Amino acid sequence: MNVKQRYLAISGLYFIMAQSIATPETSTGYTFPAYNLDVITHSLNHPWAMAEIAPQTFLITTKPGQLLRLEKGQIVAQVTGVPDVYYASQGGLLDIVLHPDFHTNHLIYLSFAQGTASHNHISVMQAELSGNHLQHQKVIFSASPDKDTPVHYGGRLLFLEDKTLILTVGEGFNYREQAQVKSSQMGKLLRMKDDGSVPDDNPFTDDSAVDPYIWSIGHRNPQGLAYDPRHHVLYEHEHGPAGGDEVNLIEKGKNYGWPVITKGMDYSGAMISPYQQYPGMEQPIVDWTPSIAPSSMQIYYGDMFKQINGDLLVTTLKTRALRWLKVQKNKVMQQRNLLRHLNQRMRYVHIAADGSIYLLTDGSDAKLLRMSAKTTAPAQVPKKSVAKDKLQPGSA
């Protein structure tokens, strides 16, 4: 059995286990605002992320390598000029973010798996969007070293308020020790300038033994990033093994422990580490055991759901929910699962400019959903609401 087959086999086994041991919801003392849920579009082939380039106009990435333009609920074009991707298992075209000055420079950034089965890595491309075409493409960064597994890429991108770019890089599944090796970029959060170069104020630029891009170390497969601009806080979440999914409060130069400390077990049932805490290693602010498989995260600020301003929204694959984390003073006070009855693996959450919440489901026939406040007028976009997809306002 090769690496990919072994990974899929043990992942499938644990998926069955996770479904039989449901993650309990915290007792509710807060109420999520009443909402409507509409299906905006469907038949998406393994979408991974989206970005809003204008009101009701989005770019959606799909793992096989498509960049789709959606306007007013309709897919109107496939954007040309995207990079060639290594599409296998968890690899492919992944995240998309807009440059903070997108409306003047039209720059977008894509993360994608690049290479071959025996030598692959995560890369970042910068390109200028011109109509439905990417031009002036430039790969500004490629993580090293290469690996020979098609999993645990990380791949999430996020611009900070100083216009530097954070990239999450997974540890490749078979290379978990690399997460603690400071000369390796695997299992790290990396910080770069918008042209891919190293910022002078990165924490280890004066240490020749440490990779200068490193912002934090000790991560497994980080796929969630959210920055709170009001409190200047960076949140990250990552997949654990059989248990040990976590949310971390990221600080410059800190060590988040993987694989030295974890509450998870190996998929085989073997112990990964005897330690759940260790000197010099940070504790998560949230641990999910059993795993929920968190796939993306946003911090909500908007006018449509003012009651949840400052809270975290996390999509989950295994527990098939939008998970609402009530946050006060950087602490998660309570959690609640939304949309469980849809029984859809949730891939990505996006907060639109109007404050509505967009959700991409996962799979070969995925949907784009929109949550809007019940008290607002219906959005002026074509809707494809189906009875089974319609929720009672505020139900979870």
Distance, CA of 132 to CA of 8 (rounded, Å) = 36
Distance, CA of 81 to CA of 127 (rounded, Å) = 9
Residue 66 vs residues 61, 116, 347: alpha-carbon distances, Å: 6, 19, 16
Strand partners, 242: 265
Residue 51 vs residues 68, 88, 219, 240: alpha-carbon distances, Å: 11, 23, 25, 27
Does the CA dihedral 289-244-360-20 come out positive or negative?
A: negative
**Eight-class DSSP state of 265:** B
Name the residues annotated as catalytic. 152
User: Tokens representing 242?
Assistant: 């059989």
Instruction: Report the SS3 class of residue 144.
Output: coil
**Eight-class DSSP state of 340:** G
The rounded radius of gyration (Å) of the Cα atoms in the chain is 20
Nearest to 300 by CA among 317, 314, 288: 314
Residue 50 vs residues 5, 14, 201, 311: alpha-carbon distances, Å: 30, 29, 30, 20
Sorted by sequence, the CB contacts under 8 Å of residue 146 that are 6+ apart come out as 115, 119, 120, 121
User: Tokens representing 348?
Assistant: 């990505």
Distance, CA of 390 to CA of 396 (rounded, Å) = 12
- H helix or E strand, kind and range, residue 121: strand 120-130
**Eight-class DSSP state of 213:** T
Distance, CA of 192 to CA of 198 (rounded, Å) = 5
The answer to whether the beta carbons of residues 195 and 150 sit under 8 Å apart is no
- H helix or E strand, kind and range, residue 235: strand 233-239
Sheet holding 357-361, edge to edge: 35-44, 366-373, 357-361, 346-351
The answer to whether the beta carbons of residues 39 and 73 sit under 8 Å apart is no
